[in-house]
Amino acid sequence: MAVVQPVSVDEVVKVVKLAIDHGFKIVPVGSSTSLSGNATPKLENTVIVSLERMNSIIEVSDIDWYARVQPGIKVDELNLELMSYGLQWPVDPASSKTATVGGVISNGGGGMRGAKYGPASHWVLGLEAVIGTGDVIRVGCRTVKCREGYNLVQVFIGSEGTLGIVTEATLRLAPLPESFVGG
């Protein structure tokens, strides 16, 4: 078993290609909050790819209401930054203080605000991922109305890393509510 912490898509590509060459399995993880129970891999011949160092906000558009982020950014940290734009990513897993955007996407997370806003699948516009061949693919786009054939973004959401390692996500944003109820 090995644990690697890449900081870029190029490093993820190298890890995947090395794993292919040496016959290792790959298990991508975010912060391993694992409230859904999927962060316990079999450790024989396995490379755990921890994405927690890929935790940057790449771009925020307060005009078009989207953000491009790396998968290791924590949900609460993202929303704290988005507050300065008057925006939010309304996906709200129970572990939002420690859950990463990539983990939420991989698990198809939702949360308490799901009744109003829906699950992660409603809030992911596009993805960049490294697939099992070591190739980088980009699916989806920056708009809600995206006409590019099969909706592979929705196929990736909830696939728990079995289709590829998400290295960037384009997220649809919502305005902050005018007021909050509760404490």
Predicted confidence band of residue 109 (pLDDT cuts 50, 70, 90): confident
Task: Please tell me whether residue 32 adopts helix, strand or coil conformation.
Answer: coil
Where in the chain does DSSP place strands (E)?
2-4, 25-29, 46-50, 57-61, 66-69, 87-88, 124-130, 136-140, 165-172, 174-175
| Pair 100, 114: CB distance under 8 Å | no
Q: Is the pLDDT of residue 13 over 90?
A: yes
In sequence order, what are the beta bridge partners of 118? none
The pTM of the full predicted model, rounded to 2 decimals, is 0.89
In this prediction, residue 106 carries a pLDDT of: 93
Domains of the chain from N-terminus onward: 54-175 (3.30.465.10)
